[in-house]
Amino acid sequence: MTRKKRIATAAVLVAVMITIVVPSAYGVQPDNAGALYSAYLDWLQGKPAGLAQINMHTEKKLTNPKVVIVDLTSQRPEQKYSGSIVNPTIKIERKPLGTYLETETIDGKPETIEKVRFRPVTLLVIVADKDYWGARTVSFEPTQPMMRLDVEVPLHYEPAKGGFHVESIETVDHGTLTIPDIKTAIVRSITGVQVSWVVERDDAITYESFSQETWGGLPDEDRWESSGTALVTDKDISGSIDVSDGDVRIITSNVDYRITETEICTYTWCRTVWSLTPVHIRNFHGTPGGYYSGGISSGMPREYRDKTDNMDSFNILFDAPSDNGGVYLTTSISTSVCGGIGVQVCFSGSVSTYRESESGHRPHYHVEITDWGTHSRLYYAYKDGNGRNYYEIYLEWD
């Protein structure tokens, strides 16, 4: 056997091992071997690639369901998978953004650890059969090369369009619509204290996403179903909103939602699922929210700064959610907003902002004590007593 033939044979054997042996070792179904092989080639070339395996959960038993996974992380959505419900695996971009410091408890002692920050990935997961459909948006930081994600997809009973069809699955990008004035945070100050709500370049806010099943027409503006939350890091601006001397500001955002249309057809039924997923923050506004004279309820654990500490300026940081996130603020959109390229898709209803955020991607508060007056201690407390999840702080002088 010639040298060239030996090299070619070895390359074939390596490809076979990657396609058959390696997927089994990683728990990847053979149908997904192409994703693993593609990621492996990217790893060899030093590209920032990773894998995400989706463990799907539904409350109903489905009949021969079809699954579609769309990656919404890039500027244009990309359909990464269509097929069986059994543990689909896709290739994702694992893009490092820098490092940050995180305090962890190790052997009972707090230690500061340097970690790598990765750009969050947002996936749209759609599942459907002839009787049910469901969609779930999932956002995560790809901290490991191989991520295993448990995804609970809510199902909606709605019989599909029957008949004889050409079997196909396709996702179409229809541009964006902008939902204005979504409540995002609340910032309070008291006399002698300036408080700034700070959003840095890579910080993320978590907003609600929506989906709707329709066939032969456009979505109904007030029939959107919630499809979970999405972390949004892309934004036109970063910086701070400052308040002082008792002012309160409600921070609102104009958010671009990506419009996608996914058509799923088997030989005997068809569905069309439209989705609205938050992908870009246009701006932040601080609207007046009244006056705050200070005060912390008895149920809130207090932290403080003493005048003798000589720390007139400090940051208040937030934890990752201890309860899988939760609704922070809800905004009612009473006047429909519309958008899209080549179509006119509209939305009206309620949009929730969640306190959920991934490690290293959280906005924070900066406190500047401008006048201690006759006080010797400044107390502050997080809204939720069992964690530091809400972007909301209460203050009180002693």
Tens digits of residue pLDDT in 87-139:
899 999 998 888 777 777 788 777 888 888 888 899 999 999 999 999 999 99
- Half-sphere exposure of residue 54: CA atoms within 13 angstroms, side-chain side: 36
Predicted confidence at residue 387, as pLDDT, reads 63
Residue 358 — pLDDT band, cuts 50, 70, 90?
low
Distances (CA, A) of 141 to 21, 38, 110, 325, 353: 28, 20, 23, 15, 19
Do 65 and 42 belong together in one domain? no
- 350 is in which domain, residue-wise? 48-397
Do 232 and 251 belong together in one domain? yes
Predicted confidence at residue 252, as pLDDT, reads 95
Domain count, the chain: 2
Residue (of 153, 185, 176, 210) closest to 348 by Cα position: 210
Predicted confidence at residue 40, as pLDDT, reads 59
**DSSP three-state, residue 27:** coil
Q: What is the pLDDT of residues 269-282, one digit of tens each?
A: 999 999 999 999 99
Do 172 and 222 belong together in one domain? yes
Q: Distance (Å, rounded) from C-alpha 89 to C-alpha 96?
A: 21
Do 36 and 131 belong together in one domain? no
Do 275 and 314 belong together in one domain? yes
Residue 20 — pLDDT band, cuts 50, 70, 90?
very low
Do 41 and 52 belong together in one domain? no
Do 35 and 155 belong together in one domain? no
Residue 386 — pLDDT band, cuts 50, 70, 90?
low
Structural contact between residues 214 and 274, judged by C-beta atoms closer than 8 angstroms: yes
Mean pLDDT over 261-276 rounds to: 95
Do 321 and 263 belong together in one domain? yes
Do 267 and 362 belong together in one domain? yes
Distances (CA, A) of 384 to 215, 322, 364, 378: 43, 10, 15, 19
Average pLDDT score over the chain: 85
Q: What is the pLDDT of residues 205-256, one digit of tens each?
A: 999 999 999 987 899 999 999 999 998 989 998 889 999 999 999 999 999 9
Window from 51-60, 204-213, 287-296, 384-393 with minimum mean pLDDT: 384-393
Residue 25 has pLDDT above 60, yes or no: no
Q: What is the pLDDT of residues 134-169, one digit of tens each?
A: 999 999 889 888 899 999 999 999 999 988 888 899
Mean pLDDT over 285-290 rounds to: 93
Do 29 and 68 belong together in one domain? no
Structural contact between residues 382 and 390, judged by C-beta atoms closer than 8 angstroms: yes
Do 249 and 107 belong together in one domain? yes
Do 243 and 109 belong together in one domain? yes
Final residue before a domain boundary, out of 26, 47, 68: 47
First to last CA, the chain: 87
Handedness of CA 175, 180, 186, 187 (dihedral sign): positive
Q: Distance (Å, rounded) from C-alpha 34 to C-alpha 144?
A: 19
Mean pLDDT over 68-93 rounds to: 91
Predicted confidence at residue 177, as pLDDT, reads 97
Predicted confidence at residue 202, as pLDDT, reads 84
- Half-sphere exposure of residue 156: CA atoms within 13 angstroms, side-chain side: 18
Residue 30 — pLDDT band, cuts 50, 70, 90?
low
